[in-house]
Structure 1
């Protein structure tokens, strides 16, 4: 009887411990979502909307980490958000990509987009080597500059086995610098010696995020925004082959090791959702809701990553990659501008 009571007590305690672990796991996920929600609200305020919800959420997470500390009891749920919510957000992100439009209407734009990606990555990495910057973080920034900002960094970080801190720092830098560039484009637009259509293409092939492209092109009218987003979607489309190339590169790089680079299965989901969004008649309001969900989940994932960032590392590791990325962004912007101006003459 005594032995049976002890077994029952032990069984009940193990159930209680497991239940507590589950509760902390759920609370950890909700913790990141609460920050994402606060970032969304903060990012909608006048003046701050230019910064955006994602950067607002990351900054709040970094401040919390360095003032309050990392919530260790919620680590499991936070890590789930950082890793798996991020992949799910990228899958949902595929609904934004109209593959048919990119292939059939944006043929020449794909050439421009490919050149932007090559230039963004190669110039960033060349400058990083010259500046003796952290190459892993610089590669993430180069990919973000060349392709589609924080979404590209989130997509390739598992393939490149980037640590959470690098991914969060990279996403935050891209969001901040891209916002500055979008504001600069909007200010310069009336003074540029190019047509509104050329301006739209330039915005699409050179700015970092889809949101940045939309913000820069919106003042020029709906037609200009349409062509700019088409140009930008070409870069999103090229994220697919780039990711598989990076996966093969990682496998070759680690060829002599037992653990090879993971296959990016979530990109298969990205392709599937892209095909669904392209060829199935999904109501516009549903696509808008999916897009909002994707942005929110990516924000929650970035909160999970931002909680790993030490402010001291921003000074010691991020300054040189940031400088390389800014210079590379200026090169991409300048070269694409003069090339498009010459082609439109």
Structure 2
């Protein structure tokens, strides 16, 4: 490759990253508007990417930069997401909730896959939605996709569905809260063990007060923590599955970014504000950066979605996930 070709390729690579950056910026702005502020920048970004793909097609010249966002930045976002998990709090205060969290994850995956089989829904997408429902939404889907060898299209569709459905459930929780006979603490636990993403738990828990929000986030953090053992179970399952099927390609790439996730969790739990004092403004900035690059990654994934395929492929997994989410909310309501 000549120097001019290398320079051209580098410009296209940077332009591809810049492309996802600009759409993420637009999505962030849109997520501040009424109504859309409940949907969130992640869902806005995926919708914009899907619309762009249907009208103008995939920007092939920018492919390398877009794929950098959808793969490398995605893994970086998952690593930084570990800072949101305070393992000390989970171990010391949330062990009782952890049992409920395990139940939530097992129930969500098993029921979603059972319904997917009944509905003859796409297995790969249904499994991603079951994991996203049980653990922590789009972040969980992004984390397990490389392990499950899921298509980028399935990852993006799953993340978009989780973001939208989870928002609807969270808003519904806030509406019915005054009508249900739960204390604020019970309501917080219910939100934490049943809603899809941390953002959804925060949205539903905030109106009930600081104590309810704290217990809701604690319950949710337990589910985030369980992403690690679940990932290793999935690695074992995939290896066994491939050996059973006599697949010639039995190698499962180890998700090294999960090690980064664990390291950042330990760092955030036992080093930050104990050994190293970090201002709250800095932590807020890191949190925003994490959300922003995750949004850039989802744009790259969203560009792989073809709506013609979406209509036939996603409706049944969506139905399975909706039914699971509804049963999860009802059952956990009576448990708390």
Q: Please classify the TM superposition score into its range, dividing by the shorter chain length.
A: over 0.9
Aligned to 1:262: 253
User: Which residue, out of 94, 108, 123, partners 1:106?
Assistant: 94
Task: Tell me if the contact between 1:106 and 1:231 (Cα under 8 Å) persists in the aligned partners.
Answer: yes
Q: Matched residues in 1 for 2:177 and 2:317: separation? A: 29
Aligned to 1:298: 294
Aligned to 2:192: 204
Map of 1:143-162 to 2, 5 A cutoff?
Answer: 143-162=131-150
Q: Matched residues in 2 for 1:259 and 1:123: separation? A: 28
Using the size of structure 2 for normalisation, the TM-score is 0.96
The runs of at least 4 aligned residues of structure 1 exceeding 4 Å deviation read none
The reply on whether 1:338 has 2:329 as its aligned counterpart is no
Aligned to 2:269: 278
Q: After superposition, what is the alpha-carbon deviation per residue over 1:25-76, rounded to whole angstroms, capped at 9, x for unaligned?
A: 1110111111111111100112210010000000000000001111000001
Using the size of structure 1 for normalisation, the TM-score is 0.94
- Count of paired positions: 328
What is the deviation of 1:325?
0.2
Q: Matched residues in 1 for 2:126 and 2:263: separation? A: 30
User: Which residue, out of 200, 204, 224, partners 1:216?
Assistant: 204
Aligned to 1:324: 320
Q: After superposition, what is the alpha-carbon deviation per residue over 1:259-303, rounded to whole angstroms, capped at 9, x for unaligned?
A: 411111000000000111111213322221111111101100000
Q: Matched residues in 2 for 1:211 and 1:272: separation? A: 23
Give the number of the structure whose alpha-carbon radius of gyration is greater.
1
Aligned to 1:52: 40
What is the deviation of 1:170?
0.3
Q: Matched residues in 2 for 1:169 and 1:206: separation? A: 21
Q: After superposition, what is the alpha-carbon deviation per residue over 1:123-171, rounded to whole angstroms, capped at 9, x for unaligned?
A: 0000000000000000000000000000000000011010010000000
The reply on whether 1:169 has 2:157 as its aligned counterpart is yes
Q: Matched residues in 1 for 2:108 and 2:46: separation? A: 24
User: Which residue, out of 36, 39, 46, partners 2:24?
Assistant: 36
* Aligned-residue CA RMSD (Å): 0.9
* Contiguous gaps of at least 5 residues in structure 1: 1-12, 341-345
